[in-house]
Amino acid sequence: MDRTSNRAALKIALIYIVLGTLWVVLSDSLTSTLAGDNVKLYEYLQRFKAWFFIAITGVILYVLVFQQTRTLLMKDEQLLSSEQHYQSLFMYNPDAVFELDTSGTILAINPEGQRLLGYENADIIGTKYHNIIAKEELEEVQKFFKYVLAGEPQQFDATILNRAGHRVLLRCTVIPIIVHQELKGVFGVARDITQIKQHEEAMIASEKLSIIGQLAASVAHEIRNPLTSLRGFVQLMQTTRELNDNHLHIMINEIDRINLIVSEMLVLGKEQKVDYSPHSVIGIVNSVYMLMKAEGNLHNIQLRLSGDQKDGRKVICNPNQLKQVFINLIKNSMEAMPDGGDIIMNIKYTPDKAEIAVIDNGAGISEKRLEKLGEPFYSTKEKGTGLGLAVSNRIIDQHDGTITFDSKVGIGTTVTVTLPIV
């Protein structure tokens, strides 16, 4: 602002000096030429040129000052209009909008932000943001704040505690305020997604229960086989009154097999807090394989594993949710092969990703239907709800991964889940 004022003043002063110098030189020369040796005429012309100069420079200065003043007034009007636009965006925004300084002190917060927090403006201004963040998430939020102070905009979810002590989940977008290449503070926009998150979790839980119910028949069939073997050996021992080590070894293996299948079902069905921690990819895939192999046998479908099965690399995940995704994908493949077929779970690694592909040789999906896969309530099956893939997409998105579909009618479908590895 000061630089602009200085430039304007300097511009006017220079114009005045240049014009004054030119006028003195030219007018003196012209006066001498016109007056010649006439002294009275020379004195008259000198007085006239002085008043004429005052008049001319007055007009010129008026024009210059008028233009500069009009320019400054226009800029002030634009600035005022811009400020009013900002105030409208700030005050009437349906999301919470806030401003922090570089130390994390709240400088401003809009009415929606006050409503979410339950505080009046006077009660919240001047406090630190970490006073309202849930303690278990504070360290993570502080990391994001440091990134923003380094000039990197951030988007993340964070839980706050409002004045009533209720937990509110916010989706936050935070950007740096940079003026003249200098960091002045932080702007943020936050949206309450508590109910959205609850609805997502309810949908995931509902889909999980549906999967467990559908698996029950095949798991019961799979358990019945080792139970039949155990019954036979027990009856044999009752008859012979003898213990055979080979028979006992087989019986223990059959019991272990039952225990493994039941354990996987219990883990899948158990309601848990959605925590994320490192888990091996092959461990998750093997668990799904054990559960779904029985289902495949019932429908004359051969389920096989391929790829790198010895690599123990891990992903940050909730293992139950990933199992739910793969079970859903395999069930979809099975339903596309009513007359039986083959399904391959292939594991492949890149330097920073794990790719798990579910490959079948079923009926395939047309390009038109592929475009709509994953939309809630859209299904290629007659009695399908379409929620299975919608839930799977959401789970993988929460794990910072992707799901891609590649299918050809009459040849089969490949669904590839890509996840970042630790």
CATH number, domain of 226, equals: 1.10.287.130
Nearby residues of 357 by Cβ (< 8 Å), 6 or more positions away: 344, 345, 346, 348, 414, 415, 416, 417
Same-domain pairing of 286 and 346: yes
Residue ending a domain, choose from 39, 60, 90:
90
Burial 34-64 (b: 16+ CB within 10 A, else e): ebeeeeeeeeebeeebeeeeeeeeeeeeeee
Nearby residues of 323 by Cβ (< 8 Å), 6 or more positions away: 267, 268, 284, 287, 288, 291
Q: What is the number of other CB atoms lying within 10 angstroms of the CB of residue 127?
A: 13
Question: Tokens in use for 415?
Answer: 């669904």
Q: CA 101, CA 169: separation in Å to the nearest integer?
A: 23
Element (H, E) at 345: strand 341-349
Same-domain pairing of 190 and 72: no
Q: Which of 201, 209, 220, 311 is nearest to 258 (CA)?
A: 220
CATH number, domain of 317, equals: 3.30.565.10
Q: What is the arithmetic mean of pLDDT over 367-391? A: 57
Nearby residues of 134 by Cβ (< 8 Å), 6 or more positions away: 158, 159, 160, 161, 167
Residue 93 pLDDT = 86
Q: CA 334, CA 328: separation in Å to the nearest integer?
A: 10
Same-domain pairing of 253 and 359: no
Nearby residues of 310 by Cβ (< 8 Å), 6 or more positions away: 282
pLDDT greater at residue 221 or residue 164: 164
Q: What is the arithmetic mean of pLDDT over 202-230? A: 64
DSSP state of 421: B
Residue ending a domain, choose from 196, 230, 254:
196
Same-domain pairing of 392 and 302: yes
The total number of structural domains in the chain stands at 4
377: left (phi over 0), alpha (psi -120 to 50) or beta: left
Residue 418 pLDDT = 95
Same-domain pairing of 154 and 58: no
What is the average pLDDT value for the chain, to the nearest integer? Answer: 80
Residue ending a domain, choose from 196, 211, 236:
196
> Which sign does the torsion angle of CA 291, 297, 300, 306 carry?
positive
Residue 278 pLDDT = 92
Q: Which of 54-68, 203-217, 249-263 has the highest mean pLDDT?
A: 54-68
Same-domain pairing of 97 and 7: no
Helix axes 194-240, 387-398, angle to 10 degrees: 100
pLDDT digits (tens, 9 = 90+) for 25-53: 777 777 777 777 777 777 777 777 777 77
Residue 335 pLDDT = 84
Same-domain pairing of 16 and 148: no
What's CA 177's distance to the chain center, in Å? Answer: 21
The answer to whether residue 193 scores a pLDDT higher than 80 is: yes
pLDDT digits (tens, 9 = 90+) for 305-329: 998 888 889 999 988 889 878 988 9
Q: Which of 180, 169, 170, 172 is nearest to 154 (CA)?
A: 172
SS3 305: strand
Same-domain pairing of 138 and 261: no
Q: Which of 273, 268, 261, 264 is nearest to 207 (CA)?
A: 268
Same-domain pairing of 123 and 110: yes
Q: What is the number of other CB atoms lying within 10 angstroms of the CB of residue 200?
A: 16
The answer to whether residue 105 scores a pLDDT higher than 90 is: yes
The answer to whether residue 359 scores a pLDDT higher than 90 is: yes
Mean pLDDT check: name the lowest of 196-205, 214-223, 287-296, 375-384: 375-384
Same-domain pairing of 285 and 357: yes
CATH number, domain of 143, equals: 3.30.450.20
Same-domain pairing of 42 and 170: no
pLDDT greater at residue 189 or residue 257: 189
> Which sign does the torsion angle of CA 261, 264, 268, 272 carry?
positive
Question: With contact defined as beta carbons under 8 Å apart, do 281 and 356 qualify?
Answer: yes
Question: With contact defined as beta carbons under 8 Å apart, do 352 and 375 qualify?
Answer: no
Same-domain pairing of 163 and 206: no
Residue 252 structural domain: 197-269
pLDDT bin (cut points 50, 70, 90) of residue 180 is confident
Q: CA 275, CA 208: separation in Å to the nearest integer?
A: 17
